[in-house]
Amino acid sequence: MQDKASTPLSFQQLILTLHDYWAAQGCVILQPFDMRVGAGTFHPATTLRSLGPDPWNCAYVQPSRRPTDGRYGENPNRLQHYYQYQVIMKPSPPDLQDLYLGSLKAIGIDPLLHDIRFVEDDWESPTLGAWGLGWEVWCDGMEVTQFTYFQQMGGFDCKPVAGELTYGLERLAMYIQSVDSVYDLVFNDAVGDRPAVTYGDVFLENERQLSKWNFEVADTEKLFRWFRDCEAECQASIAANVPLAAYEQAIEASHVFNLLQARGVISVQERASYMGRVRDLAKGSCEAWMKHNGWAE
Amino acid sequence: MMSADFLLELRCEEIPARMQAKAADDLARLLGEALGAAGLKPEGLTVYATPRRLAFIARALPLSTQAVSEEFKGPRTSAPPQALEGFLRKTGLTQDQLEDRDGVWFATVEKPGRATADVLAEAIPQVVRAFPWPKSMRWGDASLSTESLRWVRPLQGIIALLGNEVVPFAIEGIATGRTTRGHRFHSSGEIAIESAATYADQLRAAYVIVDQEERRAIIARRAEELAAQAGLELIPDAGLVAENAGLTEWPVPLLGRFDAAFLEVPPEVIQLTLRINQKYFVLRDESGKLANAFICTANIEANDGGTAIVEGNGKVLAARLSDARFFWEQDKKTKLADHAQKLSRITFHEKLGTVADKVERVATLARWLVEEGIVGASNTSVTPADAGVQAPTAQPQPATPLDSRVRGNDEERKALADLAEQAARLCKADLVTEMVGEFPELQGLMGGYYARAEGLPDEVADAIRDHYKPVGQGDEVPTAPVTVAVSLADKLDTLVCFFAVDEKPTGSKDPFALRRAALGCIRSILGKQIRGSLTIALLSASYLWYVQARSSERRSAFAEAYFGLESALGKPATFEQVVAFAEARLGVDDRQAAPGHRATRDLLDFFADRLKVQQREAGVRHDLIDAVFALGGEDDLVRLLSRVHALQSFVSTEDGANLLAGYKRAANILKKEQPEGGKPQSQLGEEDPGEALTDPDMAQAMREHEAHFAAAAPAYALEPAEAALINALDEAEPRAEAAIAAEDFEGAMAALATLRAPIDAFFETVTVNDADPIKRQSRLSLLTRIRAAVHKVADFSKIEG
């Protein structure tokens, strides 16, 4: 994967390399959003900042929670908690594809040795009222990045359009390090007598316990109440003209809904209705944000 | 005239593979039309599509449009001056340039030719702005406005070269030029294209094969070679070749292997994983079995010859196949019957309950179809050619006996019914398996595998596997009795339920694929010569749904009731008879039952329409199908179609055509003589007799009354032609009836044909509208008799021409 001279990047070195690369492209390097979200797109630095006319370029790592993907640490590829690397550039620069390919080279993927392809994959988030056109980027047949030009967010046209890159960090690292299980990933390199640590050392127990909590333990009564509380708090915050606070409640509601799904207590019929409620909260927050900034009537 | 080749290249970020072919066609068509509108005729057009560019070449395009001289006729020279002024304004000429021809002004306007470059500079931006992409987007700085240019993905450059010259224009800030870019990784910097003639070669030097056909040929040929070198056989897949050609500018097929241990997973699963998820070609070994190999198509000539690419792809595939094997192992740990328990959590449709509810109905109906002998072990199977596409003029098939229901022996039938019910109860169970969750297109197929794996009888496994069939037009029609029972029951239930809640297809919208379901029923019924009343089958299905919504007790009583009615009548019951009977016997609440019955009637019309569409290809006339459907009682599709076939042969003969003419004449006179809005005198009149007569006893009484009336000897001296016609009818009627009873429709037609000459003679020499009311009445009833005789075969009033 790498030049023969160098060892493959560790997990943390992969993140640091991407930080350096995107910082050099003029991106603000943000820290993860401190709430539980399903994907990097939920970070307000993507959702809310992709609205309105102001230029915005940033990159960050976002821990992402997908309760239903939990496998108690027993599946080498599936996790209920994993990391996405997110880049957002608004307006989308004309050379965004080249910039992206430059980042692959930076992390050690040689495009004359590996087959890089842009394969049609349009993106849609029903809970965010958002969609865009783009690709999944394949490296030797593996999807390593989602590449999207946002067309709408929160039901509003993106003016201008932002380009979004979402790297699946674990998958990319497994590829670079050539390991078959996510838990075997080298997290950092040994320094002197301080040993290297694996991804499993850091996260295996978390996957076991959190899978159990997500699927078996979480109190569904409380979750339902929690959902209603978030909903009410979001609406109250919209009314109080604090859209950033409202949006936080919307993403909290979204995560609680995901937990309820993992607990298997939402029927097929109810599912659509809950998703509609989350979408209303997200769209309401986006609308309030647009108004607050004077971008909408 | 001077001419030059024209090249247009529209370069953008990766165009989805599935959109490229149509985009190339659209570009050729739209630019071709624009050139044509300007009167420019190139010697030929070529279009190319790669992931990153669309190119258009017009060879030997004239450098300017033709000068044209057009003549306009103006006002008379004597007309008021305003008229002349208007004409001068319109033509842009002065009066001295006009010509006076016999007192009328004529103007000749010369339109000079335009430079082709100008035409192109005007036309191309219009074509680009209005290009019909299935999905398009905005991007970059310009997207601050929603009015900005939309393209499939960001448009990056435009080449427009006429001869060696750039045709200057710009679209949304993208100015034309002569430079492009080559392969994303094998070429760097810009390439200046000299002309259309050198375009393909200059790009080839930059590792881009612009011709999609050439890329396809390379992929197909190279994949075959790789397979042969490995001692394997490529499973050809033109769709996959095209898709890979749409994903590459420099296609390089590479062969890899996967762990043979994965081959324990059903081959369809492996094939889907390879083809759909990874876009790999699939291979067979010499024994015809799926080989543990794949061919991927890279877009580069890799520095290491592709080793790393094959290795990487192999890993991705292994991860996917492990998932599939995990699902396969997991799913097998649970019996289908236990999987089926979970169907009560899956909504079939919001108005129609859960899939478990559906399964319950399908199981009852499948069992009933077998128990009633409608579907049995010894149904004659006919080839699809006989079933769907039999030429109407072919030799008549031997008559099938009227009661052709296969009764078989009771034990055998019970065993078959048990299997059908068992298969039906399990047929949807795979919907909750992990594998079908991952690959929904494997529904049915996986159920079949799981059934076999847990040791269920082959008949059950086959029925689970095949009960969705036939899906597409060319798809095989099930023939195994258990499969047919489940398949028919499933489709009939779907049709009945969606019609009952008024979710019918409208126009091009058919979200629940009901047309396909009806067509599937028709093909099964005709293919397997399934005999029985469609009305009753549909009513039974709808009754099951109806009862399930309330209670589940009276189901079998209902089915028996219908068949009791039918044997009492000695013939298929009409819709109204069945409804009346059912309501009387079962005390079905009229008000609540009504929608289901109306739905069934709509559904019969729906079947008639589907049958017409299906038979159109076979050259069967739709009006003849209508003519037989209009009889009302005929809803045994097999018999109906054999009647239609006989009818079509008959009406194309001279006898048939003349009989039709005689019938129409009789029917017209009757129509005229019967007062508007009055009740038809005959229950076999042109109007649907069922509308007026809902009560079977009453219908019977009417029939007897008519027979008596017709047979009564007229109290006056008959004219010779009149007597001859009565004799002919006396002779033809029983013959036709007997032939119909024996389902010998050719024979019935032959009997009717004997009426042709007497009818012609009757109309030639006898006055129907005689002054003597007794004669008149008697002759009108003779016409009624003619009409009734003909209607034994079909409602001739529906026949066109």
Residue A276 contacts B, CB cutoff 8 Å: no
pLDDT for B101-154, tens place per residue? 988 999 988 888 899 999 999 999 999 999 999 999 999 999 999 899 999 999
Instruction: Give the residue on B whose Cα is nearest the Cα of A93.
Output: B140
- pLDDT range class, residue B405, cuts 50, 70, 90: very low
Angle between helices B773-791 and B696-711 (to 10 degrees): 130
CB B302 within 8 A of CB A115: yes
Contact A202, A187 (CB under 8 A): yes
Token reading at B145: 């406005």
Residues of B in contact with A133 (CB under 8 A): 135-137, 152-153
For A77, nearest residue in chain B (alpha carbons): B319
Query: Rg (Cα) of chain A, in Å, rounded?
Result: 20
The nearest CA of chain A is from the CA of B431 a distance in Å of 14
Q: Return mean pLDDT, chain B.
A: 83
Radius of gyration for the alpha carbons in chain B, expressed in angstroms and rounded: 37
Q: What is the structure's pLDDT at B690?
A: 34
Put simply, the answer to whether B145 touches A92 (Cβ < 8 Å) is: no
CB contact under 8 A, A268 and B346: yes
Residue B716: its pLDDT value, please? 79
Inter-CA distances, A266 with A71, A256, A271, B346, B593, Å? 20, 12, 6, 12, 34
What confidence category does residue A71 fall into, taking pLDDT thresholds of 50, 70 and 90? confident
How far does B186 lie from chain A, in Å, by closest CA? 8
Number of Cβ atoms within 10 Å of the Cβ of B157: 18
Q: CA B243, CA B253: separation in Å to the nearest integer?
A: 13
B438 and A CB contact within 8 Å: no
Classify B56 as helix, strand or coil: strand
Those of residues 46-75 in B touching chain A at CB distance below 8 A are 51
First and final C-alpha spacing in chain B = 57
pTM for this model (two decimals): 0.76
Query: With 90 as the cut, is the pLDDT of residue B542 above it?
Result: no
Span of B5-14, B28-37, B162-171, B583-592 with lowest mean pLDDT: B583-592
B286 touches chain A (CB under 8 A): no
Interface test with A, best of B11, B12, B14, B19 (most A CBs within 10 A): B14
Residue B544: per-residue pLDDT: 66
Query: Is B303–A133 a contact, with Cβ atoms under 8 angstroms apart?
Result: no
Identify which of B186, B299, B304 has the shortest CB distance to residue A117.
B299
Average pLDDT over residues B595-620: 79
Closest by Cβ to A140, choosing from B186, B309, B347: B309
Task: Scan residues 71-130 of B and list those with Cβ closer than 8 Å to A.
Answer: none
Contact of B388 with B526, CB cutoff 8 Å = yes
Coarse DSSP helix, strand, coil percentages of chain B, rounded to the nearest 5 percent: 55, 15, 30
pLDDT above 70 covers a percentage of chain B that reads 82
Please name the member of B51, B280, B312 whose beta carbon is closest to the beta carbon of A142. B312
Task: Identify the closest residue of chain B to A164 by CA–CA distance.
Answer: B139
Contact list in B for residue A141 (CB cut-off 8 A) is: 278, 280, 296, 312-313, 316-317
pLDDT at B398 over 80: no
The pLDDT of residue B259: 95
What value does the mean pLDDT take over residues A14-32?
98
Residue in the block written with tokens 């979001």: A234
Determine the average pLDDT of the residues in A129-155: 95
**For residue B571, what pLDDT is reported?**
63
Contact criterion met (CB < 8 Å) for A115 and B144: no
Q: How far is A9 from chain B (nearest CA, A)?
A: 17
User: pLDDT by residue (tens digit) across B622-637?
Assistant: 888 888 888 766 778 8
Q: How far apart are CA B487 and CA A158, in angstroms?
A: 49
Looking at per-residue pLDDT, the higher value among B677 and B569 belongs to B569
How close B144 gets to chain A, by Cα (Å)?
4
Longest pairwise C-alpha distance within chain B: 109
> What length is written for chain B?
801
Contact B316 A140 (CB under 8 A): yes
| Residue B356, pLDDT above cutoff 50 | yes
Interface residue A180 vs chain B (CB under 8 A): yes
